[in-house]
Chain A
Amino acid sequence: MPEADVRRQASELKFRDPAKARALAEKLARLCEAIGREPIQVMHVCGTHEQAIAKYGLRTLLPKPLDLIMGPGCPVCVTDLPEVDEAVALAEDGKLIATYGDMLRVPGTSKSLAEAQAEGARVEVVYSAAQAVELARSTDEDVVFFATGFETTAVATAAIALEDALPGNFSILSAHKYVPPAMELVAQIPQTKVEGFLAAGHAATITGWGIFEDLVERFGIPVVVGGFEPLDIMAGLVRLVELIRDNSKTVVNMYPRCVTRAGNTVAQQQMWSVFRTAGGMWRGIADVPDGSLRLRDEFAHLDARKKYKIDISRLLQHAPSALTEQCICGAIMSGLATPTDCALFGKECEPTNPVGACMVSSEGTCKIWYQYGGHPEL
């Protein structure tokens, strides 16, 4: 067999074997039957999980009693309107905005960065915080890195902020969010009745799985840390339903090839030396205490909010449209509704003309359902 084929098989078959996935699905069905009630509600809190579930068509494998709810797992979706407005205002004021690709189309109060760009503002897509710094080095213009995402990208922003000799024209507009407080908040919403969490493996590589012990203790809800390949997800769900059956309130790490109990302590140290937690809105959900990450005072020289006077008032003159008021993104991100419950889904609200942020990002539940067909009967 040619070497390339060997590599391909090694990389794919290990965690993408449909036969093994079906075997896990059967096990899951037996477990649900043994529990003998429905729905059994579990929640994942990660857009990458929903992506993988939809992309591989895993929902068609899940037993009917198991209700797998999508929680607030999309960093793009929970970026709040005023945060987008700040970036748009800076762009319109002539700053060069560098940001991740899927932030471009997120609607602000009156426009998105993509629309500001179409009107002449400068917006560059970058793949990393480091690339934003390179961009600043290559120009005399003021470059503002619109930094979004959870712990996973916040550590990358922190590592950059700690570098020596950053160019003077570089600054950071932080809209980073911190996941654990949001999980606590969702765990407390009475209507959701979450019986178990499938936690995001990539965020846990940074925070460590130990961070969930406190949540388990206080709310009595088991947590399984899971990876993102089809078999990771199926095996994670099997373990989670086992914990529910056994009434076992504990954290189980089902992603040990990447996640440890302590996590990446160097990255954590860097993150907390650069950022502090702050309260702030998660778009559509609620004010999440300690759910936002802001630059510490020592990094004021890099903080776009301190470096520039950001005036978003001119963007706020648009009253929210009638459509925006019908959007139920918040309920969807809290796990209280699914996209097909929304009157706008696939009609007035489409990826090219999104009403809510959930229809923008490839991590957003509405976009994922639009793209892959939600609960398909194909």
Chain B
Amino acid sequence: MSSGPTIGRRPQDEIVTLKHGAGGRAMRTLIEETLAAGFIEGDGGAIGLAAFDDGAALPIGDRWLVVTTDSHVIQPIFFPGGDIGRLAIAGTVNDLAVMGATEVLGLTSAVVIEEGFLRSDLERIQRSMQETCHEAKAKIITGDTKVMGHGELDGVIINTTGVALADSVVSDSGLSPGDRIILSGPIGDHGIALMAARRGLGLEGELRSDVAPINGLIRGALDAGGDAIVAMKDPTRGGLASALTEMAEKSRVGIVIDEAEVPISTAVRSAAEVLGLDPFHIANEGKAVIGVRPEAAQATLDALRSHPQGADAAVIGTCLEEHAGRLILDTGFGRRLLTEPEGEPLPRIC
């Protein structure tokens, strides 16, 4: 965050707005300045709040206990390719997985429901959570339920917390110059499908969210790449651009992405162009970005591609010593910066 001469806060800084929830810089600054203030010191050898990683890792003997939590709100609750229940399980399982913790010990589920919510919808969400847990080889081990008055929230909120043990943890900050960046599959599907469904754009056709637990896929990559896998992240809110910018900043390397190598489906590419949105800024819920030492890149890629969820995996970029903290896109025409989205992506006027 820049820190030029401040002329006092402007009125808009006094309240929280949607831009603070969009997963970009505004959100990180808000958290640093308010919610995490006073808690971020003294994590010892563990990965704690100060790391702003996907979760925490606490040393237990010679292993690590990995913990993560996430509250899920989404409109519409049922969307092409998934629903809030599937999202609540996959989101937390994936946050654990990208820290190297692919075998889930257990999940908690806290559900807050608005008065008037259909019981049949709740049952549908529950079935979906169960199916997704089955896919992820995970179990819900405890939970909590609250009901609030009509209008006090919008439908339903689901919070899930996940715990897992891992022999070693993978942070999002371990990149060095020369490392390769691998993406596990096409980007943009979740956010674009949601936007199309939400706005009734008539573009829905082939657009489906990619929401899925990918701990199995990541286990395969970790087995193939071993210690050569030095950083991982799931590019959710803020999209691939936010995930890679965070990785570049924390690792103090530059990252150059070869645009032609980034898998994007034709449906997403077309819808994003119509809406004036950048697929690099759009949320994904079933993808991983993996930083790997160059000598293990091919083996890691092969392992990903041999898994049904990783068939379109690709090496999309390389880490540089220069331009530390910056993400650069090589478009094939020339190079330019690739920056994080600022606030919620909004469609353009023309």
Contact = CB atoms under 8 A, between A and B. Distances in A.
Interface in A321-364: 321-323, 346-348, 350-353, 361-363
A104 B2 CA distance: 24
Nearest to B26: A352
B331 A57 contact: yes
27 contacts: A8-B266, A11-B270, A16-B332, A21-B333, A55-B331, A56-B331, A56-B334, A56-B336, A58-B333, A60-B335, A100-B349, A102-B346, A102-B348, A103-B349, A114-B17, A118-B15, A125-B346, A127-B199, A127-B347, A321-B10, A323-B7, A347-B2, A347-B4, A350-B2, A353-B10, A353-B13, A363-B349
Contact of B329 (A21, A48, A57, A105): A57
Contact of A361 (B269, B270, B349): B349
A360 B21 CA distance: 18
A59 B334 contact: yes
Given A56-B334, A59-B334, 20 more contacts: A8-B266, A18-B332, A18-B333, A57-B330, A57-B335, A58-B333, A75-B350, A101-B348, A102-B347, A111-B12, A114-B18, A115-B17, A152-B350, A153-B349, A321-B10, A351-B343, A362-B276, A373-B339, A378-B256, A378-B337
Interface in A177-235: 202, 230
B15 A57 contact: no
Interface string B215-228: 00000000000000
A7 B10 CA distance: 49
Contacts of B35: none
Contacts of A230: 333
Contacts of B335: 57, 60, 376, 378
Q: What 6 A-B pairs come out closest when comparing CB atoms?
A: A57-B334, A60-B334, A101-B346, A373-B337, A351-B342, A18-B332
B138 to A, nearest CB: 34
B196 to A, nearest CB: 11
Given A4-B266, A321-B7, A362-B276, A125 B347 contact: yes
Interface in A50-99: 54-61, 75-76
Nearest to B343: A352
B347 A101 contact: yes
A153 B350 contact: yes
A378 to B, nearest CB: 4
Given A57-B329, A57-B331, A101-B346, A111 B337 contact: no
A115 B163 CA distance: 39
A250 interface: no
A177 B15 CA distance: 33
A115 B2 contact: no
Contacts of A149: 349-350
B323 interface: yes
Interface of A: 4, 7-8, 11, 16, 18, 21-22, 48, 54-61, 75-76, 100-105, 110-112, 114-115, 118-119, 125, 127, 148-150, 152-153, 202, 230, 321-323, 346-348, 350-353, 361-363, 370-373, 376, 378
Nearest to B24: A352
B32 to A, nearest CB: 14
Contact of A101 (B16, B266, B334, B349): B349
A118 B10 contact: no
Given A323-B7, A351-B342, A55 B348 contact: no
B337 A102 contact: no
Contacts of B349: 75-76, 100-103, 148-149, 153, 361, 363
Most buried by A among B10, B13, B342: B342
Identify the interface centre among B10, B15, B17, B333: most chain A CB within 10 Å of its CB.
B333
Nearest to B349: A100
Contact of A115 (B12, B25, B328, B348): B12
Contacts of B13: 353
Contacts of B199: 127
Contact of A376 (B5, B275, B337): B337
A346 B346 contact: no
B323 A378 contact: yes
Given A101-B347, A102-B346, A105-B343, A119 B334 contact: no
Contact of A352 (B323, B331, B342, B350): B342
B205 interface: no
B75 to A, nearest CB: 13
A125 B13 CA distance: 22
Contacts of A4: 266
Interface string B148-187: 0000000000000000000000000000000000000000
A18 B335 CA distance: 12
Nearest to B260: A18
Contacts of B275: 127
B141 interface: no
Contacts of A75: 349-350
B19 interface: yes
A346 B333 contact: no
B277 to A, nearest CB: 9
B12 A378 contact: no
Contacts of B348: 100-102, 361-363
